Structure 1
Amino acid sequence: VFIVWTAARDGDLAVWIAGGVAALAFVAALAATSARREGWAFIGTALSIAAVTVMLFTALFPDVMPSSLDPAWNLTTTNASSTPYTLRIMTWVAAAFTPIVIGYQAWSYWVFRRRIGTHHIPDDVLAPTPDLEPSRER
């Protein structure tokens, strides 16, 4: 519903294409999940999120936040941008920290790449199962 509403509001072909890719990727992720293909489900979900993001930025461009009162009051990319000095500092900081974040995320995915179940936990460290029935004593 959101994809169709956003695409119908803008009417641009690129928005419809990005919305279609998002919808197809979402359906593919659901199908992969039901088929217990976690890797493909992850790829479908990631592609769906990326396509919705592309769709929104394409539909809004050059506005960052459109005004509902007057189109002259729209916040555009030019009005929302920082000064060149601030952008230069942000670029250097992002260039330094982005590889660190990507490396940490890659390591995290590598460490937690396998599913575990209760059969992986030794019996001597299992907590007792709580009684889920309410107590009759009062």
Structure 2
Amino acid sequence: RRCVLAQDHPDIAASCDQLGSLLQEGGKLEEAAALYGEALDISRRALGEDHPDTASSCNNLAGVLQALGRLGEAEPLLKKSLEVTKRTLGERHPHTATNYNNLGVLYRSRGDVRAARENFEAAYHITVAVLGMEHADTATATCNLAVSMMVGGGY
């Protein structure tokens, strides 16, 4: 794609995200982070800060940063992704639920049980309403919420 498209074309960002995902799955986290960062930079230039694809790139980079233990860098990206996703796709959208879930995971990693639970609750309510009880994302949200309630003593 780089040979045919402009360097700031959204398809280049999509390719960087896809390659980053493959590298992340293969355990090459630093390389994945670099590609996700490139995808985010391209998305910001090509699509702007307030585009769902830019939010997705923020989320992808944040995920690998979390895996690397760089929670301080991941948190603002996750918050930005959630903010943009809510504004562009709505509060009741599966991507919004994913963003709440990912923030919950970050807060759980930090030991912030209250913030984790709040985000897991939001993810749960959205997935139940939008995807139904039988969907895999609802099962994930249910499990995360249940664990946060057990840890926090709210079951």
Same fold (TM over 0.5): no
The structure that is helix-richer by fraction is 2
| TM-score normalised per structure 2 | 0.26
* TM-score of the aligned structures, taking structure 1 as reference length: 0.29
Q: Which protein shows a greater Rg?
A: 1
Greater RCO structure (CA 8 Å; 6+ sep)? 1
